[in-house]
């Protein structure tokens, strides 16, 4: 994913989706990278009260090839901070961890998310996500 060929058209699609009743938008810092979050803010900020924006961290957008996991606590915190800035939010309603990084203990990655929640930067996870475990 890169820049869309027509940014204005992309923003128009976002506005139209919300006008038609879409109230949940899922994005990630790695999409673009950073392009989708920036477009969402440019098109929709200030956001409607009923719009939920979800974002994710834990992958690195590298080219070419698959995007590697990065569950290091410092990376997750930086990814969240960047998402907050690009989306123009004080708190992300739903922040998701893409997937565990086999090189980082899951407890360390989740610990970074707990810190972000305690700082008020992300909302608490819904109950099913709180019980998620590596298998």
pLDDT digits (tens, 9 = 90+) for 26-77: 998 888 788 999 999 999 999 999 999 999 999 887 777 788 899 999 999 9
Neighbouring-strand partners of residue 53: 25
| pLDDT-wise least confident of 58-62, 78-82, 130-134 | 130-134
Contacts with 61 (C-beta within 8 Å, 6 or more apart), sequence order: 1, 30, 31, 32, 33, 67
Would you please indicate which residues are annotated as catalytic (active-site) residues? Answer: 31
> Which residue carries 């997937």 as its tokens?
99
CB distance 127 to 112 below 8 Å:
no
pTM (predicted TM-score): 0.87
Residues contacting residue 105 through CB under 8 Å, at least 6 positions apart: none
Phi, psi angles (nearest 5°) of residue 67:
-85, 120
Q: Is the peptide bond before 46 cis (omega within 30 degrees of 0)?
A: yes
């Amino acid at each position: 994913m890169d820049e869309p060929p027509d940014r204005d058209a992309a923003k128009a699609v976002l506005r139209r989706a919300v006008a038609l009743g879409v109230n949940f938008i899922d994005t990630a810092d790695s999409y673009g990278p950073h392009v989708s979050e920036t477009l969402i803010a440019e098109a929709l900020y200030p956001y409607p009260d009923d719009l939920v924006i979800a974002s994710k961290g834990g992958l690195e957008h590298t080219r070419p090839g698959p995007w590697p996991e990065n569950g290091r606590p410092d990376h997750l915190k930086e990814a969240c901070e960047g998402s907050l800035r690009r989306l123009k939010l004080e708190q992300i309603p739903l922040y998701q961890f893409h997937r565990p990084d086999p090189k980082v203990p899951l407890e360390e990655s989740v610990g970074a998310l707990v810190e972000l929640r305690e700082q008020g930067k992300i909302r608490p996870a819904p109950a099913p996500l709180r019980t998620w475990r590596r298998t």
